[in-house]
Structures are given as C-alpha cells and as structure tokens.
Amino acid sequence: MRPLQRNRWLGCVLGALRGNGSPTHETLFRSLGLMGFAHALSRREGKQPSALATGAYMAALANNMPLRRAMKDAACALDNAGVQAIVYKGQEYLDRIYGDLGARPMADVDLLVRERDAERAEAALLGAGFVLDEACQTMHERKFVKGGMAIDVHRSLLQSLRMAVPHEELFERAQPCKSAPGLWVLDATDALLVHCIAQTVKAYCLPASSFVELQALLAAADAERALALATRWHAASAFYASMRALGALGNEQARALAARVPLSRARRLCLDAIVAGFALRALATAPRRAVLLALKAALIDDLRHACRFIPQWFVFQIAGPRAPAAP
C-alpha cells in the first residue's frame, strides 16, 4: 500500500474513532490490519461482524489467551518474590484501550521492574518454569519463555543516555492491574509518554494500531502534564515526533501539542524529516542497523548524550548482555 493511501485511510479510521464523520467501512480496517478491532467495534455497536472480521478476531483471541495465562503465571511468581512489576504496552492495551482480548494479536508481555529488583525477578521467573531466551540481545531487557509464550523483563524503558525517565516515579504512580493481580499498570499520562518513547525504539516502523493506541492514550492523558513531563524526561523530541505524526493524520489536539513542545526551529525541521521519512511512510520492515542507530541518536534531546550513546551501543553489540543465574 502506498504511504499516502495508507495515511488517508488511517486518518479516516482515527477520525471515526474520535466521533468525526460517518462510520468507517470495514474495508479500511482490513487494509490497515485492524480486522480484529473491527470485529470488537461491530459487536460493541450491536452489529453483525463479517466472517473475515470474525476469523481475525478468533485468531487474535487464540493468540492472546495463552499470553494472558503466561502473564498471570509471571504475576504470581513476581508477587510471591516481592517484586513490583508494571505490565505495559501490548497486553495492557487490550484492557486499557481495546477492552477485548481478541481486538489485536500481541507478540509478548512487557514487564518493567526496578533495576535493583531485576535479578530477583529473573530468578523468580526461572523458578516458575520460564526459560531464558539467550537469543534476545538488547541493552535493557531479557526474554523469558514458557510454553512458547514470551515475557520481556525490562530493567528500564531504554538507555539512560537517550532519555532521563524517572522510573521510580512510574512505580509510585502505578495502579494495581485488574486483569492480573500482583502486577501494576502505568498512570494514564505516563502511559502516553511511554508509548511515544516506544515508538522511537521501533524507529517509527509501526503498524496502524500504534497510532490508534497513541490517539486513545492522548485522549485519556493530562495533556498539560504530558508536555511538562516530556521536557523534564528529556523526551521532548520523542513526544514532538509522535504528536507531529498523529497531527498529520488529522488529530488536531496532537497537532496543537506538537506546536507547543519547546524545541528550536532547527530541531523541529530535523524531526519533521524523520516523521515524513519514517513515521508516515508505513515502512514494512525496520531500517538497516546504521540507519536505526542514526535515528535513535537523532531523537536524543541532548547532543552530548547522543555522542556518548553511539559508542555505548557499539560496545554492547560486541560484549552482549549477561545471563541470569539459575535459581
């Protein structure tokens, strides 16, 4: 699908979800890979979903139910070990945004733990029958698998040189997770900023669902507080890029927020190029490593930190992560 066509259709879906204009035809949802969501919306409105939408919904449900069981197993193990863990993104969005386990298939479960609790969390998961996936090579997470279901344990949202996220504040503002007792979920405004940060991790190689989620998170957040936090977290570039992209898709609130982010004109022009070249191009695959590294560095607010992040990234590629000890 061509980028302009995809963005036009995605803008129509986002507008319909905001209550603007006529209901969106199911064809648009199918073209954007949102058929499970189309089924959930149809049922919510008292309409009969198509067979195609029902098939997508059932496939997503079959995918997400074992993941939900794995999440509850992890919740029990971590709670028994006295580890506070926040579930965020995918599985948590099924409750916060979609309100339906079959609305969108998810690949794994993302959990955030404090740095000081990371080893205890990893040992608890190993003791509960999860196995470390040693092929997972990232700077701030480890992947654990049980019955084919993956749990990603994050020590931080991303490297400290990229953004100054006050993780302790996230845990202080977190609320109990209703669908998995023992886990916690982010405050609404924190969830918005974390989503913006996650979009930079993917270098804006994003499915349409990421913008559906971004819009829903923005609607539920305190926009003024989000703007202030983005600056304090040194995440102004990430927040601007996400709001700029959503604004280009027709969301006026996002467009107005982007205009208020305190950035220089030169910085805005650089980020606008990233939004136009990546976020709005609907890239099917992630860019090559050199481009990915350049994008990540360009989205760091402080140039000095960007210069330090690049060699750190290369060192990690050579040394790799350490493995947790078995219990």
Counted residue by residue, the chain has a size of: 327
Residues 152-180, mean pLDDT to the nearest whole number: 93
Q: What's the pLDDT tens digit per position in 10-64?
A: 999 999 999 875 556 788 899 899 999 999 999 988 999 999 999 999 999 999 9
Please give the pLDDT value at position 282: 66
Taking the CA of residue 101 as centre, how many other CA atoms within 13 Å lie in the half-sphere pointing to its CB?
Answer: 12
Average pLDDT over the chain, rounded to whole? 90
Whole-angstrom distance, CA of residue 317 vs CA of residue 168: 28
| CB of 215 closer than 8 Å to CB of 246 | yes
Q: Taking Cα atoms as reference points, which of 93, 111, 100 lies closest to residue 214?
A: 93
The model's pTM: 0.92
